[in-house]
Structure 1
Amino acid sequence: MMHMSITQLIGQTPVMSIAVPHRDSTLVLKIEKNNPGGSMKDRMAHSMVVAALQDGRLAPGGTIVESSSGNTGTGLALAALEFGLRFIAVVDHHAAPDKIRMMRALGAEIRYVEGDFREDEVAVVERQRLAAQLGAQLPGALFMNQSDNPANPEGYAGYVDELLSQIPDSIDAFVGCVGTGGSMTGISQRLKRHNPAIRTIAVEPAGSIVFGKPGHPYYQSGTGTPAGDEVGNVLDYSCIDEGVQVTDTQAFETARYIARRRGLLVGGSTGGAIYKALEFIASGKLSGTVVTTVADGGEKYLSTIFDDEWMEKRNLFDPAIAAQLDGWLMEKARAA
């Protein structure tokens, strides 16, 4: 098939399996980093722009404004190119530098929030405030507000359709990251409509407040809800069976492990989802075919979580995690 625009390349991403032999289970990774903007957020970004153009909230030639740590912003930059729109991304120091470079390369205008913030503190509240202000002040501008935008979860309908086609026999569980809640809600709702018995596990960073635990700073990017912010209206708790937390060290060491053992570069939040999925399988809480998403690629984090000096400086190394992962993925003969 010949495609006529970059956004037509969104979707139809492949899957890759990782066997967990001594538990007779399989972890299936849906490789969403293969979308043209490098993440699963391409789906919801395109969905939000199309919905805004269709209902008249965004006029031809208008301006999109959004607070983003980078992946949503990249998806919106692609959609802006397709529809001839201006795009302003409001970011903070927490965004991976390569994500900002990518948005700029695609023509996005970058606005940094002002203020003194810790390196591991996500300034999402200030980002949201500035994005809303720009959306209200600039002529023809619209603040997309992904956290409260119903077109966010709707953007993942194609993801689930693809998944059900790729794994026609059975899906027993889905383990996904939760930030705004758009992907977790959109995917979980549709999977449960297909089969209510599918277990859904949402993973947030330790320090996030999505499931009511005390907030504190964290390094994981593009996931969770930091202290001081509010959980987005798009998050539907009723479609989530269990919410769990993963530490930065567990997430980042797992991402590095998957790169060195499987040759797949995944982002830090994906490392966290993989860690929790394997932990649940190893403990017997999940079994059969368990799906999780490679939300974005490790190529965006080569100067951070894949850089030894960066990891060491922040005391994020823990070699015991690689040994733990080896144990969870060992063959039956070795387990005996």
Structure 2
Amino acid sequence: MKNWVAEAIRKINADFQRSADTHLIKLEGLNLKGIDIYLKDESTHPTGSLKHRLARSLFLYALCNGKIGENTTIVEASSGSTAVSEAYFARMLGIPFIAVMPRSTAQSKINLITRFGGRCHFVECPTHMHDEAVRLAQECNGYFMDQFMFAERATDWRGNNNIAESIFGQMSAEPHSVPHTVVMSAGTGGTSATIGRYIRYKGLATELVVVDPEHSVFYDSYQSGDRTLTSQRGSAIEGIGRPKVEASFQPDVIDKMLKVEDKASIATIHWLADIAGIRAGASTGTNLWGALQVAAGMQSRGEQGSIVTLMCDSGERYLDTYHNLQWVEKMFGDISVYTEQLQKFA
């Protein structure tokens, strides 16, 4: 068992050594004098999203805690990107993987999971994912990875090339090298916890603003302090927002939260494609809309500085959904009011 675990950890670390860091893209030509906005492009990971970092950390955490052996089936509750990344690492280690996900998950993500050797197990509603994952793990004597529980503790927030250290390192040569604000959405809450802790650990003046989509309870919980809040439906923005307050969500390291309407998120990814030729997933739209609202506030106060937000995954996964205007019209209605608001920034 120990020999197998040691070899598994070696394989994961070797994969990390083969992987380059992700790009930090400055958005040019914005109508924001003295304010720079940057996108940390996490879509260039081997599995195409920010969740590659999380999956690596979760596997290492589970291996070092004695939870995974050579015959262990990994089970995860995921709407897509985490499952894609975990399927990649499970295949690397030669162990089975099952993703429990809503039936509405984008087909492109389902295809990626199966391509990496994983199996998809569907539920009708996102609120059923957790309990079904627990049941499946017990049934097959497997291990429930539980990203929503362990995301905030699996990553070393002090450094070790985590997302925060990467961002601040890449910003070091920019005109405003210490960002005024980092804007991040919450799925598990693990990434925002890592960034918020790192900011405090390094004694930085940067603020952490977390954005939350409709039908997610993170924002309301942050405002009220009530961690028992629940919602009867899941977020329409894949990968972020939750119908309950997950254990990895750490409100005490967040400086401010903003609620973002779904139509604004969708309008923003189409605006980004128009002004920069960058096609991103809808969660990036939530992030960037929030960054632009922070920038507008800075501009009104006569402040200058930099804002960093994340491109969580590529829009190539959503060509038949978020980037299909007919589908958008059917699912969300008219987004033109938000498109018009975005024009003032470019």
- With structure 2 as the length reference, what TM-score do the two structures score? 0.85
- With structure 1 as the length reference, what TM-score do the two structures score? 0.87
**How many Å separate the matches in 2 of 1:107 and 1:231?**
31
**248, 255, 266: which is aligned to 2:269?**
255
Alignment deviations for residues 142-168 of structure 1 (CA, whole Å, 9 cap, x no partner) = 001111115665167422222222111
**How many Å separate the matches in 1 of 2:18 and 2:311?**
17
**31, 36, 54: which is aligned to 1:44?**
54
Aligned to 2:133: 131
**How many Å separate the matches in 2 of 1:110 and 1:234?**
24
Instruction: Report the 3-state secondary structure (helix = DSSP H, G, I; strand = E; otherwise coil) of the residue aligned with 1:212.
Output: helix
Shift of 1:53: 1.2
Equivalent residues of 1:258, 1:265 under 8 A apart? yes
2:126 partner amino acid: V
Aligned residues: 315
2:327 partner amino acid: W
Question: Could you say if the C-alpha distance between residues 205 and 54 of structure 1 is closer, same or farther in structure 2, counting changes exceeding 3 Å?
Answer: same
Shift of 1:6: 5.0
1:95 partner amino acid: T
Equivalent residues of 2:209, 2:257 under 8 A apart? yes
Any gaps of 5 or more consecutive residues in structure 2?
1-11, 222-229
Going by fraction, where is helix more abundant, 1 or 2? 2
**How many Å separate the matches in 2 of 1:155 and 1:95?**
30
Instruction: Report the 3-state secondary structure (helix = DSSP H, G, I; strand = E; otherwise coil) of the residue aligned with 1:272.
Output: helix
**How many Å separate the matches in 1 of 2:120 and 2:171?**
40
Aligned to 1:182: 190
Shift of 1:244: 1.1
Aligned to 2:247: 233
Aligned to 1:119: none
Matches within 5 A, 1:55-70: 55-70=65-80
**How many Å separate the matches in 2 of 1:236 and 1:287?**
29
Tell me whether 290-299 or 210-219 shows the greater mean CA deviation.
210-219
**How many Å separate the matches in 2 of 1:173 and 1:310?**
33
**How many Å separate the matches in 1 of 2:184 and 2:341?**
21
Identity, in percent, stands at 26
Aligned to 1:13: 22
Alignment deviations for residues 203-253 of structure 1 (CA, whole Å, 9 cap, x no partner) = 110221112278465421110112xxx311111111101111111110011
Question: Could you say if the C-alpha distance between residues 155 and 13 of structure 1 is closer, same or farther in structure 2, counting changes exceeding 3 Å?
Answer: farther
Question: Could you say if the C-alpha distance between residues 6 and 74 of structure 1 is closer, same or farther in structure 2, counting changes exceeding 3 Å?
Answer: farther
Aligned to 1:146: 147
The answer to whether 1:160 aligns with 2:164 is yes
Tell me whether 190-199 or 282-291 shows the greater mean CA deviation.
282-291
Aligned to 1:332: none
Question: Could you say if the C-alpha distance between residues 135 and 10 of structure 1 is closer, same or farther in structure 2, counting changes exceeding 3 Å?
Answer: farther
Equivalent residues of 2:32, 2:295 under 8 A apart? no
Instruction: Report the 3-state secondary structure (helix = DSSP H, G, I; strand = E; otherwise coil) of the residue aligned with 2:287.
Output: helix
**How many Å separate the matches in 1 of 2:206 and 2:253?**
10
CA RMSD of aligned residues (A): 2.2
Shift of 1:323: 2.7
Aligned to 2:120: 110
Shift of 1:7: 5.0
Aligned to 1:99: 109
Shift of 1:196: 3.8
Matches within 5 A, 1:271-290: 271-284=285-298, 287-290=304-307
The answer to whether 1:77 aligns with 2:94 is no
